[in-house]
Amino acid sequence: MPTESEKAKSLTIFLPGGVLPPALARTAAEVAEEFGCGLYLTTVQNLRLVDVPAGVAAEVEKRLVAAGADVKKPGCFPKLKICVGRPHCNLAKADSQELARLLHERYGGRQGIKPKIKLAFAACPASCSNATLADIGIVATRKGYDLYVGGKGGGRPLVGRRVLQGVDAAAILDAVGRLVDYHQEKTGKKQRMCKLINEDDFPYPVPAGG
- Could you give the angle at which helices 22-35 and 57-66 cross, rounded to 10 degrees? 160
User: What's the CATH class of domain 9-71?
Assistant: alpha beta
Residue 201: which pLDDT band, with cuts at 50, 70 and 90? very high
Q: Please indicate, yes or no, whether the overall pTM of this predicted structure exceeds 0.85.
A: yes
- Domain locations in the chain? 9-71, 80-195
Average pLDDT over residues 154-179: 96
Question: Would the pLDDT of 5 be above 80?
Answer: no
Class of CATH domain 80-195: alpha beta
Measured distance CA(29)–CA(26) in Å, rounded: 5
